[in-house]
Amino acid sequence: MSVDTFWDWSVRVYENPATQHACLELQNRYSQDVNAVLWVSWLAMDGRSPTAKALSLQQDISNDWQSGLIGGVRKARKDITNTLEKTVQSACAAALEAQFLALELMLEKREQAALEILPFTISPSQTQTESEPTRAALCRYNLKMLLNAQGLDDPERVQAMDRLAASFF
């Protein structure tokens, strides 16, 4: 099992511009919860997959966090940017946006803490090898499991998930 907590791993991989771009595409274009997407990817890096129960619990957790707290703070942050930057109050907008972003990140970290403890299974193929191709295949498998659990397995979304998986390797 990885020494990285889910949050630490997420922060580290998000520094990669390709990962960041793929995550924002999934969030902005496909309304995906990036925490859920990163969660199943993080599991794959350690040869794990979410259980069916975990995927069900993830849906509940993500819906609560994303449609409530995180979504509300994100919308307010974007509204601040769009409204105040058009006026002479751009310095005020920047300061407020930074505060809302810090709050948004704190809430994202809390959602990730809830996801991190959900049940998982060990992939049989991963116990035999720690190879990068095996982890990449498991990552794509986990992402497809997530989409199937959400009933969102359209080809464009699957391709966007594949781009995210590719960004880790």
pLDDT-derived band of residue 1, with 50, 70 and 90 as boundaries? very low
The number of distinct structural domains making up the chain is: 1
Condensed to tens digits (0 to 9), the pLDDT of residues 89-126 reads 667 777 888 888 899 889 989 999 999 988 777 655 44
How far, in Å, CA of 51 to CA of 40, rounded? 11
Asked, for residue 1, whether it belongs to a domain, the answer is no
Burial of 20 (0-12, 13-18, 19+ CB in 10 A): middle
Q: Domain range for residue 89?
A: 6-167
| pLDDT band per the 50, 70, 90 thresholds, residue 162 | very high
Q: How much is the pLDDT for 165?
A: 95
48 within some domain: yes
Residue 79 lies in a domain: yes
| pLDDT tens digits, one per residue of 117-147 | 887 776 554 444 466 778 899 999 999 999 9
Dump pLDDT digits (tens) for 45-88: 988 899 888 899 999 998 888 787 887 788 888 887 777 666 65
Per-residue model confidence as pLDDT tens digits over 5-59: 999 999 999 999 999 999 999 999 999 999 999 999 999 998 889 988 889 999 9
In a domain, 75, yes or no: yes
- CA–CA dist 161, 83 (Å, integer): 32
**The predicted structure's pLDDT at residue 167:** 96
In the DSSP assignment, the letter for residue 69 is I
pTM: 0.81
The predicted pLDDT at position 66 comes to 79
- Residue whose C-alpha is closest to residue 24's, from 128, 154, 137, 163: 163
117, part of any domain? yes
- How far is the C-alpha of 33 from the C-alpha of 159, rounded, in Å? 16
Q: What is the pLDDT of residue 104?
A: 85
Q: Which long-range contacts (CB under 8 A, 24 or more apart) does 39-42 make?
A: 39/6, 39/112, 39/115, 39/116, 39/118, 40/139, 40/142, 40/143, 40/145, 40/146, 41/13, 41/139, 41/142, 41/143, 41/164, 41/165, 41/168, 42/2, 42/4, 42/6, 42/9, 42/10
